[in-house]
Structure 1
């Protein structure tokens, strides 16, 4: 393990489980001071114990601007600047066209689009010039998935945030990239697929469609995020990095 992020300040939203938790762990293991967010206090407490190192948990819903303000207030109490923002908080559920409700639309766009937008915008006064911003996209942003159109649309929006924000932030040399996971082994995915044997059967089927022959692990997505956040990716800007076993390429 290297110390690429020694003395760096990193914010990871949605850091209590899955990809967010794995990424927060990876940053902390490489020396960063990490701030994580989540909506449930018990999940935050468990994540802090698991992550170890210099980690601070801030309870909040990133779809609520007041909660985002509270996050950055907490950061500012300890640090003058932020080096990395991983705007990862998000979620979705199935709803086929014909059954989409206004509530479903609003909830998904508030979490995945509004939350990402204001997580990054409100970080700007604290973001160091030359900082790195990583957004969580999805392979669904470029491909069709039955009954998943609203979620997919939010991830297409997130991908295009990266394309545009690199122009808005070019004078400050802040890089913005998107990491787009494919099917990844997380509690959220199991819940989406109905849990238990039903989830296992769905994952096994999806794995058969992936050139790598399996679903991904959160730690594999985390490695890609850390690469994009690091000086090793100093000339990587505005890209969508698929971490999906090749699924998006076929």
Structure 2
């Protein structure tokens, strides 16, 4: 299945927009946010500080009277420069292009399964700037197998999980973690759709470099195909 065919498949199986955080929040309470290097507002605070990020996200939501800020697919971001985990000596190999969608909202917010499926794997990814606690679900729909990844969760969310557990669409699978456990970010969900996990377990790259962009863009289509946040 080509990347274009997979994207079309996703669009075909979604009859209504999929909700992956607190279903009681109306879509009218979502707003897009630009966290790319082009946003000059990000130069006004210390991007290495989770507290500063939290203040920026919170004040932006408050100004617009919204509850959730979203965005980031294929966004080139400066925030990853704070962590050696994403960087090399060669700019073309610096991982700073985001492969999922982030949903910025308070710690403790429920996280919901995008589709029927099962627990594929889970892990606490503890590198500085990494996902922190992460769950990957496996889905098989109309004979097509694919995966969804949920990152920046609470540690408690992983405690009762078992690989192979059946999960229903819309079921609460976790809650969001805070900066102490989520890789030192303001609280948010990183949500990513993955065609081929390439043998990974509990983890999969959520940020890539320009040299590898075409592969990951094909393997990880825009989650908004199923979330429908730009409609």
Give 1 or 2: higher helix fraction. Answer: 1
With normalisation by structure 1, the TM-score equals 0.30
Give 1 or 2: higher strand fraction. Answer: 2
Name the structure, 1 or 2, with higher relative contact order (CA <8 Å, separation 6+). 2
With normalisation by structure 2, the TM-score equals 0.32
